Chains A and B, each alone.
Chain A
C-alpha cells in the first residue's frame, strides 16, 4: 500500500493568539480528489496556506511525498510541484493573461511552456482569445479559469483549489467541475476546498468536514452526502 501524497498530521496554526487550526489531520492519496468543506471561518483557507508554510504550522507536521515540508519556505514548497489556486484567485491584475501563465510556469523554468500553454488553453478556450488582455480586466469567471490554468502550468503533482466556484454562474461552475473531473481522469491529484458542498461531494472521492479548526467528520464523499447532519448543515438551503 503506497503512502499518501500529502499527509497533514496534527497540525495547529495561529494568527497571533487566535488559533485557527486545532490539531488537523488529513491525507490526500495519489490520483484522488479530496474535498474539505466547512462553514465560513472554519479554517479551510488557513489549512491550504499552512501547507505552504504561511502561516506556519506551530504543532504537528506536514509531509509531501513522505518528506517533511513543515519548515520549508513558501517558494521552496511550491517548487516541489504543489500548486495552489488560492482564495480570491489572486490574479496579477496588471499582467497579461499570458504573463500570468508564464508566472505559473516559472517553477520549472518554463521548459515545456508552449506545450503546457497549448494544454491549458484547450481546457479553457476563453483564455486563448485573451492572452494579451490584462488580468484585472477579465470577468470573474475568466479570472477563476486563469487562476486554475496558472496553477496547472507548473505540471503540479498536487493541485490545490480554494473555492473555485465562488461567485460564478451555475453554468460556469458546472464547466469548472467538469474540467476538474477531466484533469483527475488524466491522473491529477486534487485537493479542493468548497462551500458549494453538493458539487464538491459529488466530484470528490473522499471528504473532510471542518468546524472551527477541527476536522469533525471524514469518509467517502458518497457516505457524507447521505448523512442527514451533512445534508442539514451544508446542503439544504445552501447554494446548489
Chain B
C-alpha cells in the first residue's frame, strides 16, 4: 500500500510537468491547427535558462534565500522563454500561414533541430547538473510503513495547480481567453468582430512558452540535470499526453499529462524500467483505437 502511494506521488509529480508542457501543444494546435514540434525544445531551452539564472543568482550574485532565487528565476525565465515563443512564431510560422499544410510542420521540425543544436553548441553536449535543492522530505506514515513527499514534489504539484487555475480563469473568463476560443472556432468571424487574429495567435504561443518555462524550471529542480536533448523525450511524451487527452482540449492536456506520468512511473515500479516509454505509447495507441479524438477530445460532429 505504501509503495503504491509512493509511486502515485512520484507519478503525479512527473505528470504535472508533462501536463504543463502539453498545454502549449494543445493550445497552439487548437488555434492554428498545427503541431508545434519545437515546443519540446522550448521546454529544454527553458530548463537551461532556469539553470543558468539559478547558478548566476546563487553563486555569482550571492542571493542567499533559495525561495527568492527561485522566484526570480521563475519570473525572468518566463519572460525570456515567452520571448522565444513569440520569436519562433513570428519567424518560422507566421510567414507560412496560408501556404500548404505541411509547410509550418516542416518549419517546426527545423526550428526544433535548430534549438537543440544551438543549445548543444553554446552549452556543450554533456549533461549540466545542479546540487540537489529542496530535497527535504516529509515522511507520512501509512499503515505499517510510510511514504515520503519531497519538498520539491510538493512545490511542483502546488505550482502546477496554481498555474492551471490561473490559466483556466484566463481562458474562460477574460476577453483574451474568449478571443482565443473564438479564433479557434472561426478565425474569419473573429476578425469581423474586431479581434486581431495575429496578435491572439502570438499571445497563445507566449502563454504556451510561459508554461513550458515553468515546466523547465520544475524539471531542473526535480532532476537537477539538463541536457540539450531533453527537448525530445519529454517533449514527445507531453505531445503524447496532449493527444491522449484529446488535442485542443485544455483539461485533456492536463489529464493526459498526469496519466502519462502515472503510467510511466507505475510501469517502472511494478514491471521494468526499460519499457516505460513503450508502455506510455502503447496506452496511447490503444486509447486512440477506441477514442480517436482522445479522452476529452471533441468528436467532429458539429452541426454546421
Contacts and interface: CB of A to CB of B under 8 A. Distances in A.
Interface of A: 52, 54, 73-75, 78-79, 84, 86, 90, 92-95, 99, 102-104, 106-107, 110, 136, 150, 154
B300 to A, nearest CB: 11
**List of 4 A-B pairs having minimum Cβ-Cβ separation, nearest first:** A107-B194, A78-B194, A74-B191, A90-B189
A103 B185 contact: no
B179 A106 contact: yes
Contacts, number: 67
Given A75-B197, A106-B195, A107-B194, A99 B178 contact: yes
Nearest to A160: B192
Contacts of B194: 75, 78-79, 106-107, 154
A154 B182 CA distance: 16
B94 interface: no
A78 B175 contact: no
Nearest to B185: A92
Contacts of A150: 193
Given A54-B188, A90-B188, A106-B175, A95 B193 contact: no
B151 interface: no
Interface in B162-200: 175, 178-179, 181-182, 185-186, 188-197
Interface residues of B, number: 20
From DSSP, what is the main secondary structure of chain B's interface residues? helix
A145 to B, nearest CB: 16
B303 interface: yes
Contacts of B131: none
25 contacts: A52-B192, A54-B191, A73-B196, A74-B188, A75-B195, A78-B191, A78-B194, A92-B181, A92-B182, A93-B303, A94-B181, A94-B185, A94-B298, A94-B302, A95-B178, A95-B181, A95-B185, A99-B181, A102-B178, A103-B178, A103-B182, A103-B193, A106-B179, A107-B194, A136-B303
Nearest to A109: B175
B186 A92 contact: yes
Among A73, A103, A107, the one with the most B-chain Cβ atoms within 10 Å of its Cβ is A103
Contact of A92 (B189, B197, B298): B189
A13 to B, nearest CB: 15
A75 B188 contact: no
Given A75-B191, A95-B181, 19 more contacts: A73-B191, A78-B191, A78-B193, A86-B192, A90-B186, A92-B189, A93-B302, A94-B181, A95-B182, A95-B185, A99-B178, A103-B179, A106-B175, A106-B179, A106-B195, A107-B194, A150-B193, A154-B193, A154-B194
A79 to B, nearest CB: 5
Contacts of A154: 193-194
A64 to B, nearest CB: 14
Nearest to B189: A90
Given A78-B191, A94-B181, A106-B175, A136 B302 contact: yes
A30 B1 CA distance: 77
